[in-house]
Amino acid sequence: MALTQNQTRWALITPAGLWYAALLLLPLAVVLIFSFGERSTVGGYAPGFTLEQYANLPARFAAFRNTLTLAPLGTIASLLIAYPLAYFLAVKVSPRWKTMLLVLVIVPFWTSILIRSYAWIFLLGGRGIPALLDWLGIEGVRLINTPFAVLVGIVYGYLPLMVFPIYVALEKLDKRLLEASADLGTPPWRSFLQITLPLSMPGVLTGTMLVFILLMGEFLIPAILGGGKVFFVGNALVDLFLQSRNWAFGSAVAVALVVIMLIVVALYGRLAKRFAVNRDDMDLM
């Protein structure tokens, strides 16, 4: 039973197609529909068609504000920390050690963020770093359950994800360009600004976009390290679905979040074109 090439293609793509339809398109459609509905009296969804949920979005302004301030901050902070490390690994480390050191960066990322964040509860709590500072004479420093703690958790959690794309971009850099530049008498910082940095931009963009997008949906780190006082959009969503049980409003918030993300991605696409990014670099590894 020989299939034509076309039939083969259809046969191969159908399972995936069905999967996407049932578990991506359907859920997103349902959320969209629910966002136009109402809260039923005992909580949950009551069918309806109203824009009142969207009109109510400002009630969660604080959550959006927190997310949209801490997420960029966390992204930039992790970029500043990750870039030098990626540079070091790509340019300064001998090939023998490269892989191992790179794997060592990635391994924490592939272990549960839950457990890793939990360690910071101790480190930032009364018996951790503040105790150390106390001993050094700096008293009364409160680190846990603050936006700072959440920031630390964010940077810590997403650092490996930022390092990897930058490393990949820098790895492709032809060292001979740098050598030539040095031969021509350019000071190292100039070479960096004019050669290295621009060529690494695709990696920087990929990394920042990835981290930023993931941060916008973050819920766990604020929950664990924020002590209930730092409220991200993710936390607002969990609250709306699992505590106040206002599914209609929750759906509207979810839609708002997705829309913001789509805008960010579109902006990224624009920027990426400016740096003539190869589509392949939109890789999420």
Partner 1 sequence: MTDNGNPISRKKFMEELRRFQNGSVSRRHFLGVTGLGTAMTVMSGAMPGLLGGRAQARDISDRVILATWPNYHDPENFEAFKDATGAFTQVNVFGSNEEMLAKLQAGGSGWDVFVPTNYTITTYVEAGLIEPLDLSKLPNYDPAAFEARFSDAGTVDGTVYAVPKNWGTTGIASNTDHTGGVVDSWKTFFDGARDQWSGRAMVHDYQLTTIGNALVYFGFSFNSVKPEELAKAEELLIDVKPHLFAISSDYQPAMRNGDAWLTMCWTGDGKQLNTDMPEIGFALGKEGGEIWSDYYAIPKDAPHREAAYALINYLLTPEVNAREALAHGYPVADSRTNALLPADLLNDPILYPAAESLSALEFGAAATLTDPNRAELMARFKSA
Partner 2 sequence: MRLYAALVYLFLYLPIGIIALFSFSAGRSASQFQGFSTKWYGRALENPFVIEALWISVEVALISAVLASVVGTMAALALTGMKGRLKMVFDLMIHVAVMIPGIVIGIATLIALVSVFDIVNPWLEAVSGFRLSMGYGSLIAAHGLFTMSLVVILVRRRLEALDRALLEASSDLGAHPLGTFRQVTLPLIAPAILAGFLLSFTFSFDDFIIAFFVAGSETTLPIYVFSSIRRGVTPEINAIGTMVMAASLGLLVVTQVILRRGGARSTDVQSEPVERPKVDRS
d(CA 163, CA 168): 9
227 binds, among partner 2, partner 1, none (CB under 5 to 8 A by kind): partner 1
Q: How far is the CB of 98 from partner 2 (least distance, A)?
A: 8
d(CA 156, CA 210): 15
Spell out a b/e string for 6-36, using b for 16 or more CB atoms within 10 Å of the CB, else e.
eeeeeeeeeeeeeeeeeeeeeeeeebeebbb
Count of residues interacting with partner 2 (CB under 8 A):
81
When binding is defined by CB under 8 A, the residue of 214, 227, 245, 271 that contacts partner 2 is: 214
Nearest to 217 by CA among 105, 109, 74, 81: 74
Residue 188 or 198 having the CB closest to partner 2: 188
Q: E strand or H helix at 103, and its extent?
A: helix 95-109
Q: How far is the CB of 213 from partner 2 (least distance, A)?
A: 6
d(CA 146, CA 252): 28
In the numeric block, the tokens 């074109």 are attached to 273
84 binds, among partner 1, partner 2, none (CB under 5 to 8 A by kind): partner 2
Q: How far is the CB of 111 from partner 1 (least distance, A)?
A: 22
When binding is defined by CB under 8 A, the residue of 9, 142, 190, 229 that contacts partner 2 is: 9
58 token code pair: 């400002």
Residue 190 or 229 having the CB closest to partner 1: 229
Binding residues for partner 1, rule: CB under 8 A, are 39, 41-44, 59-60, 62-63, 66, 125-127, 142, 144-145, 227-229, 231, 235-236, 239-246
Q: Does 103 bind partner 2 (CB under 8 A)?
A: yes
Q: Does 266 bind partner 2 (CB under 8 A)?
A: no
- Residues 207, 164 contacting (CB under 8 angstroms): yes
Residue 165 or 204 having the CB closest to partner 2: 165
When binding is defined by CB under 8 A, the residue of 144, 246, 250, 252 that contacts partner 2 is: 250
Amino acid making up residue 70: L
In the numeric block, the tokens 């259809």 are attached to 10
What Å distances lie between residue 25 and 17, 31, 202, 226, 230, CA to CA? 10, 10, 30, 33, 32
When binding is defined by CB under 8 A, the residue of 90, 161, 224, 272 that contacts partner 2 is: 224
220 binds, among partner 1, partner 2, none (CB under 5 to 8 A by kind): partner 2
- What phi, psi does 137 have (nearest 5°)? 105, -10
239 binds, among partner 1, partner 2, none (CB under 5 to 8 A by kind): partner 1
d(CA 262, CA 217): 13
The interface mask with partner 2, positions 164-193, x = CB under 8 A, is: ----x-------------------------
When binding is defined by CB under 8 A, the residue of 120, 158, 231, 249 that contacts partner 2 is: 120
When binding is defined by CB under 8 A, the residue of 216, 221, 225, 252 that contacts partner 2 is: 216
CA atoms within 13 A on the CB side of 112: 5
